[in-house]
Amino acid sequence: MAPPPPSPLFDLACAACGAAYPASGFPDACARCGGAWRHGDAFAWQPPADAAGLRRWAPALGLDPEELPARALASPPGLYVPADGGGGVWICQQGSAPAGSHKERGAEVMAAAARRRGLRELFLDSSGNAGIAVARAAADRGIRCTVLVPASTPAVKLERIRAAGAELEIVPGDRAATHAAAQELRRSLPYAAPFFQPAFVAGIATLAWEIAAAVGEPLPAHWLLPAGNGPLLLGLTLGLSCLVRAERLDRLPALHAVQLEGYAALSPGGPGKGRPGPPTAAGIAIAAPPRRAEMLRCLADTGGDVTRVGEDEIAAARRELADHGWTADPTGAAAFAGYRRRADLRAPRAAGGGERQAAAPSCLVIVTSREAGLD
């Protein structure tokens, strides 16, 4: 059987020193200088195939459709018009029902790339959702997966990681301690970190393509998204840049990172002061994201900025979303909390305008999970 053709997923070079991505292995960073990988021009938007789920984007990814799942990984964008006169907003909820998150998208593409490279084992550190997604995707391809999680991870997420067939290692301490523990294991096993592995970021890029196709022109000028370690921000910037290069968009929308008080590593005003105790929005409780400089560059390149939100604001956002049919864990609802705080981004609804005013909202919110059972 002839080997599969080269995939655009492996058209990569080190962003720092320019070294080419190796012909074998699955490195998370450049062996020469430790820099992150940057996608080349071969990674580009292509018209979607007549297929379901991620298989629509198999040609652009350089994968066979059978290497990707056919299940839906997101709900269609929904238009929400708050009763307080703040204009309309697109709500883009991610994750396969009844649970899941946007990280399924990156995990499936990354696992397909790992399978192509002949991997039999990998590991990652996670606050929960990435661990669940990668564990499932790896198991489907016969790849052994180990997931390191902090001791404060909710029991339901631990159960789902185990149910997916992964080895689970619970690390004493917080998310930072778990990341530190991962650096030791990184010396001996392929590191499937969503924020380092370029195939994961490429999988997230397809989200930008799907949103653009579903919402249509004109795209909202402001997109709000949770930002912790950054794969969502990095992937959306990559996907939107591909659309601009393909002349499908005239310009990039502004990407606004929503971060948790006490952990707002991108905020010019500092991280802020979080409340005592373990954070509920653990996915964005990241004090020192490894790719902080690149995340800041994404905000600058798109004209976006940072909004800090507190745990109480996130809880209120979850309640409001749930009242209108969107369920999410705390991290998943954080962007809507940012939307509620950012009145300056919202176009007011004109008197008597009704749905006409709401038809072209200026904001789009990405709700990154569909989990109802976490507090």
CA distance 310 to 279: 10
Structure tokens belonging to residue 85: 């006169």
The pLDDT value recorded for residue 347 is 73
With a cut of 80, say whether residue 223 has pLDDT above it. yes
Long-range contacts of 55-61 (CB under 8 A, 24+ apart): 56/210, 57/206, 57/209, 60/8, 60/206, 60/209, 61/7, 61/8, 61/9, 61/109, 61/112, 61/202, 61/203, 61/206
Q: Rounded mean pLDDT of 221-228?
A: 98
Q: What is the largest CA-CA distance in the chain?
A: 66
Q: How confident is the model at residue 246 (pLDDT cuts 50, 70, 90)?
A: very high
Percent of all residues in the chain with a pLDDT value above 70, rounded to a whole number: 94
| Secondary structure class of 10 (helix, strand, coil) | helix
With a cut of 60, say whether residue 245 has pLDDT above it. yes
Cβ atoms 54, 206 nearer than 8 A: yes
CA distance 316 to 307: 16
The dihedral through the CA atoms of 271, 273, 274, 276 has a sign that is: positive
The sheet carrying 254-260 orders its strands as 78-80, 89-93, 363-367, 222-226, 254-260, 306-309
With a cut of 50, say whether residue 355 has pLDDT above it. no
Count CA atoms closer than 13 A to 24's CA, side-chain side. Answer: 1
Alpha-helical segments (H) within 270-350:
292-302, 311-323, 330-341
